[in-house]
Structure 1
Amino acid sequence: MSLTKEEVLKIAKLSKLSFEEEEIEKFQVELNDILKYIDMLNEVDTSEVQPLVHINDVVNNFREKEEKSSIEIEKVLLNAPESAENAIVVPKVVGE
């Protein structure tokens, strides 16, 4: 399969791109090279190859839950420009 100049122009139009004449010819050659490579990959026999989901046999390594100390709410609110009821007040960005 190879792309014609018209097909490259159609792809460019669908992509909302515009190119000079020499760029169209260059892309035609490059896209055809890519398609040849894809055809070559499609010819590879992979019938004996198992599907690969992840390169490592990783199992879920969950760590134990442990409580950790956190920054105190008062210290957080000291850095806020405005606060109310132990919360940081921010400007409204969504209309009603």
Structure 2
Amino acid sequence: MEVTDKLVDNLAALSRLSFNEAEKQEIKSDLEKMIAFVEKLQEVDTTGTEPLLHMTSVTDAFREDVVKGSMPKNEALKNAPLADSDYFKVPKVIQK
């Protein structure tokens, strides 16, 4: 597949990006390298190779969901930098 300026411009338009000429040439070079890599991968003989769903045979080891006691509120608030009688105080992050 040939990477042309028209293709780079089309990809830039689809991704809502704009590039100057130097950036276009760099992206064109990168795309050519990526396509060459994929073409090289297509040369590999995969006859008899089963497709993988996961890279390893390790499965998730889930623990049992056991209800345990929780920490009392006053003990949890001891280490808080700012606390009210019942709540953690945090800086306001949403501005109107």
> Structure 1-normalised TM-score?
0.63
Could you tell me which runs of 5 or more consecutive residues in structure 1 were left unpaired when the two chains were aligned.
83-87, 89-96
Q: CA deviation at 1:58?
A: 2.8
Superposition map of 1:24-43 within 5 A: 24-43=24-43
Q: How far, CA to CA, are the matches of 2:23 and 2:16 in structure 1? A: 15
Q: Aligned residue pairs: how many?
A: 90
Q: How far, CA to CA, are the matches of 1:17 and 1:29 in structure 2? A: 17
Does 2:21 align with 1:21? yes
Question: Which residue pairs with 1:2 in the alignment?
Answer: 2
Could you tell me which runs of 5 or more consecutive residues in structure 2 were left unpaired when the two chains were aligned.
88-96
Question: Which residue pairs with 2:56 in the alignment?
Answer: 56
- Point out the structure with the larger strand share: 1
Superposition map of 1:50-89 within 5 A: 50-59=50-59, 61-72=61-72
Q: How far, CA to CA, are the matches of 2:64 and 2:33 in structure 1? A: 53
**Identical-pair percentage:** 32
Q: How far, CA to CA, are the matches of 1:66 and 1:16 in structure 2? A: 49
Q: How far, CA to CA, are the matches of 1:25 and 1:65 in structure 2? A: 55
Q: How far, CA to CA, are the matches of 1:66 and 1:34 in structure 2? A: 49
- The answer to which structure, 1 or 2, has the higher relative contact order (CA under 8 A, 6+ apart) is 1
Q: How far, CA to CA, are the matches of 1:42 and 1:30 in structure 2? A: 19
